[in-house]
A and B are shown apart, each in its own frame.
Chain A
Amino acid sequence: MLRLELVDISKQYPSVKANDRVALRVEPGEIHAVLGENGAGKSTLMKIIYGAVRPDEGEIRWNGAPVQIATPAAARALGISMVYQHFSLFDTLTVAENVWLGLDRSLPLAEVTQRIRKVAGVYGLEIDPLRPVHTLSVGECQRVEIVRALMSEPKLLILDEPTSVLTPQAVQALFVTLRKLAAEGCAILYISHKLDEIRALCHRCTVLRGGRVTGVVDPTGQSNASLSRLMIGAEPPQLQHREAHAGEVVLEVRELSLTRDDPFGTSLDRISFDLRAGEVLGIAGVSGNGQQELMRALSGEDVRAPRGSIRLFGNDIARDRPRRRRRQGLHFIPEERLGRGAVPTLSLAQNTLLTRTGAVAASGWVHTGAVTELAATLIRRFNVKAGGPGSAARSLSGGNLQKFIVGREIDADPKLLVVSQPTWGVDVGAAAQIRGELLALRDRGSAVLVVSEELDELFEICDRLVVIAQGRVSPSVAVADASVERIGEWMSGLWHGAAPAGSMELGHAAA
């Protein structure tokens, strides 16, 4: 008897059909993957199963019997637990209090604390119930979510993109936990777009594309290429990769130490690395290890860096504000699109004024015609699907807005482009275009610094790699010489020479 069966589930939103007659069959004890790119409808489907969204059509069967899942509480009552990609945790409360809040029954806090220790022990999840959540790393936060889900003794556990916040080693540890769970009869729905993981972990895989099921397969018998074909209808686009010819040193970061100004943030510790013209340097690392702080120090949003710690073409820019840095050729693309990279309610034309001031006269007068023209140029050149230069930024899809923002910065012909999470939440087509643009920029002789949590992406477009962990940065390694395992180790801070004082090896680009 199937644990969960979805029959002809459909869901229509004003502008898109998120799910179109989707069928899903999950057996007890099965680890079932739901594979699809961003925008394929995975999230909506999970929300339907979890009771956060009602389907327009179709039937849900639980252990053979039809059910209506009206609310998350109803889902939980059936035995469905969900671990979200974005945690529902309260920073200032302890782990135990957080878990307590997620439980339906009213147990005393002390008993909950005890149970947490027990469950954590059984499934190999190290967690201290009395720590406040804001002191936990992102991986530990996820463990709290998983413990919370397990405490309700689920019959079906849904995990939404669980490994984006884990080091490769931690991913393996998670797999061990999941296999144990499955062995006990719990069904697991594993949402992901990471082909290697699905092939390593899952028993079956339902592939979604454009809201429809394109295939239900056994992933162990498939290759990345065949899964990719089901997922996007074609092979993954191949990037033209030319040899790196690294030129002069563009960016020199030396002994960059910076105390965190956010009590829940990470301090930077003597970061040092070089970046040369014509190469792409990647910074790998799990989120929460100082990437945000480093980006702010490089972009100029944080001007407290020690003098001389950041040099652009030999000039000290450590205390310069963003506009000054841009004038010297440093452009930055932040990971948050709406709210930081662009103002949601302003038009695309107005949003160009954030970083492009060509249309502003010395007197401060803004030439609106020129501004609109620039936006139109960007829309054309970077293939942005938008109503026009006058459309509000928030009316664009994530991928298109990112194309616009990336285009805005690349069009400025920067000598150094720093970009954080370039293709996060972006559909495969746009992601390929963006990566292509970054490589083209490199080929024109600019230096590119990419921070990304997706190791695959870094291996695809970078020439060299460093790893950031707990506010420190590793020595660099050429991508050709690196391996996922080694980088994974480094993500835990375990690189050789990770000792105090200037014994850091600075890698130079292997030509």
Chain B
Amino acid sequence: MLRLEARPEPSRAMSMASPLIALAITVVIGTLLFVVLGKDPLRGLGVFFVEPLKGAYALSELAIKATPLLLIALGLAACFRSNIWNIGAEGQFVLGAIFASGVAMQATKDTGHWIFIAVLAASVVGGMLWAAIVAFLRDRFNASEILVSLMLVYVAEQLLNYFVYGPWKDPHGYNFPQTVTFLKSTQVPRLFDTYRINIGAVGALVAVGAFWVLLFRTYAGFQLQVGGLAPAAARYAGFSARRALWTTMLVSGGMAGLAGGLEVAGPLNQLTPHVPAGYGFAAIIVAFVGRLHPVGIVFSAILMSMFYIGGELSQSRLGLPQSLTGVFQGLLLLALLACDTLIAYRVRWRTGVAGAAATSSSASPPAASAPATSELDDAPLSPVVATSALPARKGS
């Protein structure tokens, strides 16, 4: 009979292996799915894992998809580590796109190339504003940030519709709901002429470094983490929960807004109702699969981009609907959560009668000779493990 036994220290090895095992499980289920649908599984897997990496153009497209995911996920990682559940990054993304478009449409033929900076700055402001609503309502009225930020996603989508169907609709656009195409001057500069990848990708990598420093080498980052791991300890230490709330919400809102601005001033070049592509939600998965760690998030962002591109390709190559992407993404997260259990628990075979009672893992104070694990540059913690820290067992 399988039993779960608590480890005295969270296993660092499992912490890194867990996403890989989860990926493996997803691949297995994916293979089964292809078989059931009557498609060649090898081809199916190829579409998702090989095609997106073939060639420079493909890699550039991968980077374009990965950039917004990476940016948003970095902000979400800070949030989730602090136990602030900003689920509405999608809405903040949309507001970023709206604000960016607003500024972009001010450009005239004579505006210099500098305006793209203003466009991006506006997008950050837009995202922060939308996130600030959530922070305010939570701070002042204790309203759940999960539900408020989610409701605001729907509101943001309607707001976007209003603009593109209404005042911002391109008069020469054959009545399609879209804005004018933005002038070249507003576009984010590309890295190479032939590929669509722009400096946003570079910016994202810089952000990775910045977030790493913030989370693991500054006292502010330490305070955020403690706030998420043990709120009572944070209060004891005197860390401000209010400051954590506002900081993480504004940072993640700004990052999501920036991602929205990059989309609109980059590959899309105009504002349409299809701007909300689900990046805000996919970034949640990216953040978790990346262990809420900036470096891990780079890898998981690339992985998720592969799923996106694979989904697009599967329509033309396999005749399967694009929504396959969503299935794989969701599966990956579920598998990850299940595998994460192995970080805090060991699986043991127990036989016989005596085993039935062996689950009590908390009766004995574990030997102090357990190998040292957590350093300040922390083994990327899973919020799953963190919030389920073993309760202190009192007495003998």
Direct A–B contact in complex, judged by CB atoms less than 8 Å apart: yes
Chain A residues near B (Cβ < 8 Å): 13-16, 18, 36-44, 47, 52-54, 56, 70, 85-86, 161, 299-301, 321-324, 326, 332, 334, 336-347, 349-350, 353-355, 357, 360, 364-366, 368, 371, 385-392, 394-398, 400, 424-425
Contacts of A394 in B (CB 8 A): 8-9, 389-390, 392
Known: A347-B374, A392-B9. A301 touches B236 (CB 8 A): yes
Chain B residues 346-365 with CB under 8 Å of chain A are: 353-354, 356-357, 360, 363-365
Which of A52, A355, A357, A391 is in CB contact (< 8 Å) with B368?
A391
Contacts of B37 in A (CB 8 A): none
Chain B interface main SS type: loop
Known: A322-B238, A395-B8. A345 touches B219 (CB 8 A): no
Known: A365-B218, A396-B368. A354 touches B237 (CB 8 A): yes
Contacts of B367 in A (CB 8 A): 15-16
Which of A42, A299, A345, A366 is in CB contact (< 8 Å) with B217?
A366
Flag whether B142 is at the interface (Cβ < 8 A).
no
Known: A13-B364, A366-B217, A397-B365. A299 touches B370 (CB 8 A): no
Kindly state the separation between the CA atoms of A280 and B235 in the bound complex, as whole angstroms: 26
Docked-complex contact A345 and B360, CB < 8 angstroms:
no
Chain B residues 219-253 with CB under 8 Å of chain A are: 219-220, 222, 225-226, 229-230, 232-233, 235-238, 240
What are the 6 closest A-B residue pairs judged by CB atoms, nearest first? A322-B238, A390-B372, A397-B365, A54-B357, A338-B392, A13-B364
Contacts of B236 in A (CB 8 A): 299, 301, 322, 332, 334, 340-341, 354
Contacts of A365 in B (CB 8 A): 217-219
- Count residues of chain B with CB under 8 A from any CB of chain A: 51
**13 pairs, CB–CB < 8 Å, chain A vs chain B:** A15-B364, A301-B235, A301-B236, A322-B237, A334-B236, A337-B392, A345-B386, A347-B372, A347-B373, A350-B376, A353-B219, A371-B376, A392-B374
Kindly state the separation between the CA atoms of A481 and B140 in the bound complex, as whole angstroms: 51
Docked-complex contact B392 and A336, CB < 8 angstroms:
yes
Which of A38, A43, A342 is in CB contact (< 8 Å) with B233?
A342
Flag whether B395 is at the interface (Cβ < 8 A).
yes
Known: A54-B354, A343-B230. A355 touches B237 (CB 8 A): yes
Which of B229, B354, B366, B395 is in CB contact (< 8 Å) with A15?
B366
Known: A322-B237, A357-B219, A366-B218. A38 touches B370 (CB 8 A): no
Kindly state the separation between the CA atoms of A39 and B364 in the bound complex, as whole angstroms: 8
Docked-complex contact A53 and B375, CB < 8 angstroms:
no
Flag whether B292 is at the interface (Cβ < 8 A).
no
Docked-complex contact A323 and B238, CB < 8 angstroms:
yes
Chain B residues 304-353 with CB under 8 Å of chain A are: 353
Docked-complex contact B395 and A43, CB < 8 angstroms:
yes
Docked-complex contact A353 and B235, CB < 8 angstroms:
no
Which of A52, A349, A364, A391 is in CB contact (< 8 Å) with B219?
A364
**Chain B CB within 10 Å — which of A42, A340, A342 has the most?**
A340
Flag whether B45 is at the interface (Cβ < 8 A).
no
Docked-complex contact B226 and A354, CB < 8 angstroms:
yes
Smallest distance from the beta carbon of A418 to chain B beta carbons, Å? 12
Contacts of B395 in A (CB 8 A): 38, 43, 85, 161, 425
Contacts of A371 in B (CB 8 A): 376
Contacts of B378 in A (CB 8 A): 346, 350
Contacts of A334 in B (CB 8 A): 236
Docked-complex contact A345 and B238, CB < 8 angstroms:
no
Contacts of B226 in A (CB 8 A): 343, 346, 354
Docked-complex contact B389 and A390, CB < 8 angstroms:
no
Contacts of B4 in A (CB 8 A): none
Kindly state the separation between the CA atoms of A54 and B368 in the bound complex, as whole angstroms: 26
Smallest distance from the beta carbon of A368 to chain B beta carbons, Å? 4
Smallest distance from the beta carbon of B94 to chain A beta carbons, Å? 33
Docked-complex contact A366 and B376, CB < 8 angstroms:
yes
Docked-complex contact B238 and A300, CB < 8 angstroms:
yes
Closest chain B residue, CB of each to CB of A359: B219
Kindly state the separation between the CA atoms of A480 and B103 in the bound complex, as whole angstroms: 79
Docked-complex contact B233 and A354, CB < 8 angstroms:
yes
Known: A43-B396, A54-B357, A366-B218. A345 touches B364 (CB 8 A): no
Contacts of A424 in B (CB 8 A): 394
Contacts of A338 in B (CB 8 A): 389-392
Kindly state the separation between the CA atoms of A386 and B378 in the bound complex, as whole angstroms: 19
Flag whether B290 is at the interface (Cβ < 8 A).
no
Docked-complex contact A339 and B219, CB < 8 angstroms:
no
Kindly state the separation between the CA atoms of A365 and B222 in the bound complex, as whole angstroms: 10
Docked-complex contact B394 and A86, CB < 8 angstroms:
yes
**Per-residue 0/1 for B69-84: is the Cβ within 8 Å of any A Cβ (1 yes, 0 no)?**
0000000000000000
Which of B353, B369, B381, B385 is in CB contact (< 8 Å) with A54?
B353
Smallest distance from the beta carbon of B3 to chain A beta carbons, Å? 13
Kindly state the separation between the CA atoms of A187 and B233 in the bound complex, as whole angstroms: 43
Contacts of B238 in A (CB 8 A): 300-301, 321-324, 326
Closest chain A residue, CB of each to CB of B388: A345
Docked-complex contact B368 and A360, CB < 8 angstroms:
no
Extra contacts besides A85-B394, A322-B235, A322-B238 (12): CB < 8 Å: A16-B364, A301-B235, A336-B232, A339-B232, A341-B233, A344-B390, A344-B392, A345-B374, A345-B386, A392-B374, A395-B366, A425-B396
Flag whether B55 is at the interface (Cβ < 8 A).
no
Contacts of B364 in A (CB 8 A): 13-16, 18
Docked-complex contact B8 and A53, CB < 8 angstroms:
no
